[in-house]
Amino acid sequence: MKTIYSVLLALICACTVSAQSFDLKDVLKGIGGSSQSSESSESGKSGSGLGDVLGSVIGNVLGTSKITPADLTGTWNYSAPAVAFKSDDLLKKAGGAAASATIESKIAPYYKRAGLDKMVFTVNADSTFTMKFNRGSLSGTLAQSDQEGFMKFQFKAMGKMNVGSLNAAVTKAGNQLSITFDISKLMSLVNTIASISGNSTLKGANSLLQSYDGMQAGFRLKKVQ
């Protein structure tokens, strides 16, 4: 597992993301208040607006989609950040679909600064994949996870040597795709970045991210026509 974190860290360094530009405290600042107000409004009326549009297209709850690697064959371009929760109860606790949309909009500028908004995700018929960024890429193979709605990303160095794997929730609706990873699994990566940069804001990200129980974060993509 340490090896895969090292590979992911190298990718981030290749994208030239400075510690100053990736301020996770700013990303999540104010979301707590927005979440509480969203939750109270949802109890009185059905949801509306951007949050509901996103929720109806992709879904804000994990494990609600039966999908195989073959369903992902093709090329997908990044369209927006994505967040999802492990259950309806956790989604409601965070503030509902509107809160998910708020979190995604807060993350978007940081993805752009990192060059992640240029990501191209390609899946081949043999279940191999490539994630290309502005600078650098990741490749490997996809396999179905034992957990419904999840895929195992087996990353490879130099396209050959297995260096580790990560499970991701994958949801597909038409030409829209969402891939999200468990934030708790990424805490080691965040701490590594903080230890190298000495950035106290990054060191304080654990408590901020963990305040949203059962949340995953990743990418929303659109298939190339």
Nearest to 51 by CA among 24, 80, 30: 80
Asked whether the beta carbons of 81 and 112 are under 8 A apart, the reply is no
Give the rounded distance of the alpha carbon of 189 from its chain centre.
14
Find the radius of gyration of the CA atoms of the chain. 17
Which residue type, as a one-letter code, is found at position 127?
A: S
Asked whether the beta carbons of 147 and 64 are under 8 A apart, the reply is no
pLDDT of residue 88: 54
Percent residues over pLDDT 90 in the chain: 18
- In whole angstroms, give the CA distance from residue 103 to residue 100: 5
pLDDT of residue 19: 37
DSSP alpha helices (H): ranges in the chain? 2-14, 24-28, 31-42, 50-57, 88-94, 97-114, 183-197, 200-203, 205-210
pLDDT of residue 122: 97
- The continuous run of DSSP H or E covering 29 comes out as none
Look up the pTM and report it: 0.66
Q: How many CB atoms lie within 10 A of CB 158?
A: 7
pLDDT of residue 89: 57
pLDDT of residue 70: 94
pLDDT of residue 116: 73
pLDDT of residue 222: 96
Which residue type, as a one-letter code, is found at position 18?
A: S
What are the counts of helices (DSSP H) followed by strands (DSSP E) for the chain?
A: 9, 8
pLDDT along the chain (225 residues), means of 10: 53 44 44 41 38 41 70 95 68 58 76 77 96 79 89 78 80 90 61 44 47 74 90
